[in-house]
Chains A and B, each alone.
Chain A
Amino acid sequence: MKDWRVKDWRYWLAEQRGTLLAFGIFIVMFVIYTSNHPAGFTANVVQTASNKGVLLAFVAMAQTLVVITAGIDLSVGMIFTLTNCLASWLVIGTGIETAFGVIAVLGTGLLCGAINGAIVIYGRLQPIVTTIATGAVYFGIALLLRPFPGGSVNEDLADALTGRLFGVVPASLVVLLAVVLVVWVPFSRSVLGRAAYAAGSSEMAAYMSGVPIRRGKFAAYALAGLLAAIGGLFLTFFTYTGDAAYASGNAYTLFSIAAVVLGGVSLFGGKGSAIGAIFGALAFRTIGDLLFVFDFDPLWQPLFQGVILLIAVSLGAFALFRVRNRLEWFL
């Protein structure tokens, strides 16, 4: 009996290795960051860092859901931008109007994700091409909504969600935790979530065993849209405006992939968790901001982030050392 428990524990450790590694990287980076920050480890520094990190964390969670099914969503950044622009129109006014606005924005995100899913799964197109094309459409709509940066948002709600609870805990982290508990945990434990994992691990085997892979993948794409929309909503709360910026949308897509890789989610599908991607996102943001505390020219930031991404994706190559037969190269 005791022996079984030890094995169970080691199995759990092996499964969570990527997440734990991401957590470790994040802690180390954050300690370096705060200890060199001129203001030190204060509630203000943590609040700013968590607000920035949470934006990317939502988009990275969205990307994780799709990557688990062995797909990729290159439109997450554009859904993020689109919902940001939409929120700058709708999330305003009295309490009820604001509530309807939030629901409409989240519903739009869900719809965008569902469209991606429908085209990829039922239309049987490749995820890369599909999401690049739908990303163009979403960006176009965002540009229609906000040809110029502007708009406004319910500032009470915005301040409440980007401020601090009890003067210490950043509210955005609490929202992130709530979203994990409401969206990710139920999904990953449901039949659909398992189907998404199974489809990513081996679509053929899952299909043969009667796993509802289509519904699982569809749910993953749709929820990805929803999570990206939560991110877009938060961007609006954070900036008080809507801005259809092509470069920023693209950057979020790119960073979400970096965060997913750092978070130990396998790009070949079937392995990893959104929790890992969250820590990956927080770690990536902290690494990017390290330049500021060490007083580098901000011009170097894109290069620095690109190099981190390049190193992160190259780490996967270490698996090659474990290859026993050269034919395993071609999986």
Chain B
Amino acid sequence: MSETTIGGIANRMPKFIRRADPAVLTAFACIVLLLFLGSLYSRSFLSPEYLLQQLKVASFLGVIATGMMLVILLGQIDLSVPWSVAVGAMMACAAAAYGPLGVALAIPFGIFCGVLIGIVNGIGVAYLRIPSMIITLATNAVAQGLMVVYTGGFSPQDSATVAMRYVATGFTIPGVPNAVVIWALIGAAMVFVLTRTSFGRSVYGIGNRERAAYLSGIDTRRVVMIAFAVSGGLSAFGGVLLAGYASKAAQSMGDAYLLPSIAAVVLGGTSILGGRGSYLGTVAGVILITLLQSILSVMQMPEAGRQIIYGVVIVAMLLLYGRAPASR
């Protein structure tokens, strides 16, 4: 019923709006609304410096959410994000303690450790057919255990390398933080992979119906495996960036990224059941979440209030446009 009414109105709109996903449009509308509310609260909210700073903070979440999106498109979920982030950060910092070679290889080594976690997830989901939500929780616990043993339960003393700090906080192009450039590059690569390669099409196919994808000759297990490996690697890379930003790694640095990364992807209109969603939506979701966090911290909301508002907003927005069809 609503299909026809929306269609009737939409036919009179320009083509680019008609083709856009209503969820993505809603997300962008919410961003504008948040910016408006923020500007009422403080004049400096719309200044270019502040907005650029927000974009820089958003890029850490953006990198992590990119991997999460790939996994959610498959109809799976990656709950190992918190400790993949921490492992990436800690291992990169740890490598830096091993002489010049370690310093040179710090960033790749951090990402490599994340990829390893992702591969374990991928083997579990694709080959052992364990529900992704369970195996990723388990690998998260194992990664945490390994890091606790490695660090002795304290935050590690090694600090980030110059390269890591440069990647996270430096400026190669004047005025644009490097982190934003990196998010843009990763995002562009993701859009290319999703829309222009057979791998990307397979991801959407598997998300819609894995059985059908398998019968049409896609090596579904390999695709799932690669997707989880990429997700683990990107989470770890997010961790490396965060470590560069804070100039060291910390025990629970990844905890704050699990819910936001899932929320960003889902608020951006990607179906949690898989098979549907665009990267533009994820970008909108990431910016939306970052702005929400920023406004709450500008208002000096204590942690408790932030958690509550955060959960309520996510449930409310999902109730607006993320509902599953009724059974009939």
Contact = CB atoms under 8 A, between A and B. Distances in A.
B34 interface: no
Interface in A273-331: 299-307, 309-310, 313-314, 316-317, 319-320, 326-327, 329-330
Nearest to A323: B129
A13 interface: no
Interface in A124-177: 124-126, 128-130, 132-137, 139-144, 147
A201 B303 CA distance: 40
A210 to B, nearest CB: 13
B75 to A, nearest CB: 11
A204 interface: yes
A128 B77 contact: yes
B74 to A, nearest CB: 12
Contacts of B327: 203-204, 207
A247 interface: yes
B303 A143 contact: yes
Given A136-B311, A137-B308, A147-B304, A129 B138 contact: no
A119 interface: yes
B311 A302 contact: no
Contacts of A20: none
B138 A143 contact: no
A137 B312 contact: yes
A298 to B, nearest CB: 9
A299 B152 contact: yes
Interface in B267-320: 272-273, 302-312, 314-315, 318-319
Contact of A317 (B129, B312, B318): B129
A92 B210 CA distance: 55
Contact of B138 (A123, A309, A319): A309
A123 B211 contact: no
A248 B214 CA distance: 41
A267 interface: yes
Given A130-B315, A141-B308, A254-B141, A124 B326 contact: yes
A-side interface mostly: helix
Contact of A132 (B215, B262, B308, B326): B262
A238 interface: no
Given A133-B314, A207-B327, A299-B153, A141 B304 contact: yes
A233 B77 CA distance: 32
Given A136-B311, A306-B141, A129 B324 contact: no
Contacts of A143: 302-304, 307
A128 B272 contact: yes
A261 B255 CA distance: 24
A307 B315 CA distance: 33
Interface stretch (B89-97, B142-150, B180-188): B142-150
Contact of B307 (A140, A302, A310): A140
Nearest to B327: A207
A314 B312 contact: no
A72 interface: yes
Given A129-B272, A330-B210, A299 B130 contact: no
A268 interface: yes
A257 interface: yes
B216 to A, nearest CB: 13
B141 A247 contact: no
B317 to A, nearest CB: 10
Contacts of B326: 124
B144 A306 contact: yes
Contacts of A304: 145
Contacts of A299: 148-149, 152-153
Contacts of A89: none
A31 B139 CA distance: 29
Contacts of B214: 326-327, 329-330
Contact of A257 (B137, B143, B314): B137
B138 A306 contact: yes
Interface of B: 77, 124, 128-131, 133-135, 137-146, 148-149, 152-153, 210-211, 214-215, 252, 255, 258-259, 262-263, 266, 272-273, 302-312, 314-315, 318-319, 322-327
Given A126-B272, A144-B308, A317-B130, 4 more contacts: A72-B133, A125-B323, A144-B304, A314-B128
Closest 10 pairs between A and B when the two form their complex, measured CB to CB:
A303-B145, A140-B307, A306-B141, A140-B308, A137-B311, A143-B304, A317-B128, A136-B311, A306-B142, A302-B145
16 contacts: A123-B319, A128-B133, A129-B263, A129-B272, A137-B315, A140-B304, A144-B308, A207-B327, A247-B252, A267-B134, A302-B144, A302-B145, A303-B142, A310-B142, A317-B128, A327-B214
